[in-house]
């Protein structure tokens, strides 16, 4: 009974973290867009995209790999200590690498001059977010306290924005407040970690092990970022900050809506993974149900985004963001595409242990998307970038379906799946 209660408590805690990460920024969006205006808000969006890239590098894959190690060594403090040491040592290296990669862009790329005053704050924000020991508490299934701390710190930041942001010159304040909030969560989190699990001094051996453990997830997240986060940065290199705002506004609304799909994916994935090794017919039925619900939800979100785009943009951004309406209409194609990719990519391919095949599809798409983005941004601006983003998800969907068909492990061909499922069963045994 205790385990059951703890499980649901941690589920609610994870939902609260998702709320903080995605919906508190959306709640402050209408205020900031009106106070800052398109140009300054575009600069803010560019800086936050840069911060997200820093976070991807510094967080690496520890959210999955390190939390798994902690979960499997709850009663072994020496293993936990090596894990904590390894993650911290690896992140020191990754922070230094992020700084080295930033310096050439900071001083040599002309477009960065527009955003240069915000880049140091954005770097600090990215590091503070990524270095948080969230993975430690997730592994121990003790998310409640750290979620409360995270929520309180970010709520403090949101309140500060309403109090201190009054005009475009205050564009640095939201980044500073979010960085401070993330730093507070980080400090409190590590205070608890070090009290329970003493870490060793910097160890290159432990760092190497941590980097090897998290490499697969890092590759996956980095590949996805090539056709999501990168678009804002590439657009900012060629077009005015106002155009960055028009594009980023539509993308932010669209991505927030798409997050409604993620809990379904998180619920179906472990169920399908379990059924694949015990009941292949049940796994196929579960996937069909997931596809029906998830893709239907994606279609509904897409239709609402398309037809309600003028109202959504007017309420969320106010004057000066009329160009965002067309961007949001183009992005209305993303929810059903992301739903399809989640069902057949994340829920099926990863459950079938087709990680390399899935990563290959995403990586190729990401590389192609960057090339297209560098062509589209200077010529077609924010509209060209929106079309590029949609084409990237179409490419991922096509790659997933073709890869499944070519591998003989497509869920709609059960006879072709028999050998693969038998292999999964023997591996589990």
Distance (Å) of CA 209 to CA 73, 83, 135: 16, 9, 16
pLDDT tens for each residue of 273-321:
667 767 777 778 888 888 898 899 999 999 999 999 999 999 988 888 9
d(CA 323, CA 313): 9
Per DSSP, the three-state class of 323 is coil
Element spanning 167, H or E: none
Per DSSP, the three-state class of 79 is helix
Query: What's the residue count for the chain?
Result: 429
pLDDT above 70 coverage of the chain, percent: 86
d(CA 196, CA 103): 37
Q: 426: which residues sit within 8 A by CB, 6+ positions away?
A: none
d(CA 254, CA 305): 8
d(CA 175, CA 336): 32
Who has greater pLDDT, 74 or 53? Answer: 53
Global pTM exceeds 0.85: no
Note the pLDDT of residue 285. Answer: 83
Task: Reply yes or no on whether the pLDDT at 427 is more than 50.
Answer: no
pLDDT tens for each residue of 339-350:
998 888 877 887
The band of 267, judged by pLDDT with boundaries at 50, 70 and 90, is low
Average pLDDT of span 245-268: 81
Average pLDDT of span 189-198: 88
Average pLDDT of span 117-146: 85
d(CA 282, CA 279): 5
309-312 long-range Cβ contacts below 8 angstroms, 24+ apart? 312/253
Average pLDDT of span 378-405: 91
Distance of CA 324 to the CA centre of its chain: 22
d(CA 284, CA 299): 22
Average pLDDT of span 107-124: 83
Please say whether the dihedral angle defined by the alpha carbons of residues 270, 274, 277 and 282, taken in this order, is positive or negative. Answer: negative
Q: What is the DSSP string of 184-220?
A: HHHHHHHHHHHHHS---S--HHHHHHHHHHHHHHHHH
Distance (Å) of CA 411 to CA 4, 287, 347, 400: 32, 8, 11, 12
d(CA 165, CA 197): 40
The band of 425, judged by pLDDT with boundaries at 50, 70 and 90, is very low
For residues 187 and 328, the answer to whether their CB atoms sit within 8 Å is: no
Task: Reply yes or no on whether the pLDDT at 428 is more than 50.
Answer: no
d(CA 295, CA 301): 10
d(CA 348, CA 284): 10
pLDDT tens for each residue of 15-72:
566 666 666 777 888 899 999 998 898 889 889 889 988 998 998 878 767 877 787 6
Note the pLDDT of residue 17. Answer: 61
Task: Reply yes or no on whether the pLDDT at 272 is more than 90.
Answer: no
CB atoms within 10 A of CB 163: 10
d(CA 168, CA 39): 8
Task: Reply yes or no on whether the pLDDT at 429 is more than 50.
Answer: no
Q: 326: which residues sit within 8 A by CB, 6+ positions away?
A: 309, 383, 386
Who has greater pLDDT, 90 or 200? Answer: 90
Round to the nearest angstrom and report the end-to-end CA distance of the chain.
Answer: 28
Domain extent listing, the chain: 1-225, 251-429
Outline where 228-354 has alpha helix (H): 229-238, 241-258, 262-276, 280-307, 309-316, 324-331, 334-341
Please say whether the dihedral angle defined by the alpha carbons of residues 273, 278, 284 and 286, taken in this order, is positive or negative. Answer: negative
What's the angle, vertex CA 397, arms to CA 396 and CA 398, rounded to 5?
Answer: 90
pLDDT tens for each residue of 223-256:
777 777 888 989 988 998 899 999 999 998 988 8
| CA-derived radius of gyration, the chain | 22
Expressed in percent and rounded to 5, the helix, strand and coil fractions of the chain are: 85, 0, 15
For residues 316 and 33, the answer to whether their CB atoms sit within 8 Å is: yes
- On average, the pLDDT of the chain sits at 83
């Amino acid at each position: 009974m205790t385990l059951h209660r703890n499980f649901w408590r941690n589920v609610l805690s994870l939902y609260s973290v998702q709320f903080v990460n995605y919906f508190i920024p959306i709640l402050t969006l209408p205020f900031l867009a009106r106070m800052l205006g398109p140009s300054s808000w575009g600069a803010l969006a560019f800086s936050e995209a840069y911060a997200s890239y820093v976070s991807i590098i510094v967080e690496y894959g520890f959210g999955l790999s390190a939390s798994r190690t902690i979960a499997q060594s709850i009663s072994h403090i020496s293993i936990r200590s090596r894990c904590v040491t390894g993650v911290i040592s690896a992140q020191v290296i990754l922070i230094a690498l992020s700084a080295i990669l930033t310096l050439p862009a900071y001083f040599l790329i002309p477009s960065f001059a527009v955003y240069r005053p915000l880049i140091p704050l954005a770097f600090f924000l990215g590091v503070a977010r990524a270095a948080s020991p969230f993975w430690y508490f997730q592994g121990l299934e003790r998310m409640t306290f750290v979620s409360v701390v995270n929520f309180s710190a970010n709520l403090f930041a949101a309140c500060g924005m309403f109090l201190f942001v009054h005009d475009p010159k205050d564009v640095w304040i939201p980044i500073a407040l979010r960085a401070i909030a993330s730093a507070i969560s980080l400090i409190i989190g590590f205070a608890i970690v070090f009290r329970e699990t003493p870490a060793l001094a910097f160890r290159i051996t432990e760092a190497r092990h941590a980097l090897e453990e998290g490499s697969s997830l890092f590759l996956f997240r980095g590949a996805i970022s090539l056709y999501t986060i990168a678009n804002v940065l590439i657009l900012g290199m060629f077009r005015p900050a106002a155009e960055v705002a028009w594009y980023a506004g539509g993308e932010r609304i669209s991505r927030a809506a798409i997050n409604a799909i993620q809990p379904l994916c998180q619920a179906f994935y472990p169920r399908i993974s379990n059924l694949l090794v015990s009941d292949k017919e049940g796994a196929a039925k579960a996937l069909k149900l997931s596809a029906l619900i998830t893709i239907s939800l994606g279609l509904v979100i897409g239709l609402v985004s398309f037809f309600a785009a003028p109202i959504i943009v007017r309420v969320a951004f106010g004057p000066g963001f009329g160009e965002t309406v067309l961007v949001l209409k183009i992005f209305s194609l993303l929810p059903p595409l992301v739903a399809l990719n989640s069902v057949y990519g994340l829920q099926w391919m990863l459950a079938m242990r087709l990680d390399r095949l899935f990563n290959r599809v995403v990586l190729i798409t990401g590389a192609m998307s960057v090339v297209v983005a560098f062509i589209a941004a200077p010529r077609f601006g924010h509209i060209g970038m929106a079309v590029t983003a949609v084409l990237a998800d179409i490419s991922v969907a096509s790659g997933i379906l073709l890869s499944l068909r070519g591998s003989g492990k497509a869920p709609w061909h059960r006879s072709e799946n028999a050998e693969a499922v038998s292999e999964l069963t023997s591996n589990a045994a």
